């Protein structure tokens, strides 16, 4: 039991004043877990900290296996989020420009004009996202033009 106390003392001294927080690329501190600012990394929380760190490391490795790290460094966190998830607000002009109509319809067809009027002017942002998810499987548009 003496060795256990020794290990606990070592962990407490090495991780002194460290919390469940991270630092963003902009230098802002964020909580890794809810209330993380108030949770010190002590011997009793060290196992949980290691578990979270390991999860973050797996996410990082998975991301790097798809996108090389040097490409990721070209983006800020906000830009990367936009590339992956698309823009928060739906760009209806982008959707219109990239819509392909069936053989008997075009952008000037009366029913197509009614469709765009309803979608653009009457649907809420949430309804637009639900519509997009229904027709193409995702609730946001890609951020590219």
| Residue 117: per-residue pLDDT | 95
**pLDDT band of 119, cuts 50, 70, 90:** very high
Longest dimension (CA), the chain: 83
| Residue 12: per-residue pLDDT | 65
Which residues have a Cβ under 8 Å from the Cβ of 86 and sit 6 or more positions away? 138, 140, 141, 142, 143
Question: What stretches of 40-122 show up as alpha helix (H) in DSSP?
Answer: 43-66, 69-72, 77-85, 92-97, 110-117
Query: For residues 18 and 41, is the Cβ–Cβ distance under 8 A?
Result: yes
Is residue 78 pLDDT above 70, yes or no?
Answer: yes
The neighbouring-strand residues paired with 30 are 22
| pTM value > 0.85 | no
**pLDDT band of 57, cuts 50, 70, 90:** confident
């Amino acid at each position: 039991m003496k060795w256990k106390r020794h290990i606990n003392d070592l962990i407490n001294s090495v991780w002194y004043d460290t919390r469940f927080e991270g630092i963003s690329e902009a230098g802002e501190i964020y909580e890794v877990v809810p209330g993380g600012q108030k949770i010190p990394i002590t011997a009793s929380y060290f196992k949980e900290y290691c578990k979270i760190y390991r999860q973050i490391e797996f996410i990082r490795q998975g991301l790097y296996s798809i996108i090389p790290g040097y490409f990721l460094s070209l983006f800020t966190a906000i830009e990367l989020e936009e590339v992956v998830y698309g823009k928060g607000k739906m760009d209806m002009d982008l959707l219109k420009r990239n819509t392909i109509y069936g053989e008997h319809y075009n952008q000037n067809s009366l029913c197509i004009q009614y469709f765009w009027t309803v979608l653009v002017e009457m649907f809420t942002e949430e309804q637009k996202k639900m519509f997009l998810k229904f027709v193409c499987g995702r609730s946001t548009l890609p951020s590219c033009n």
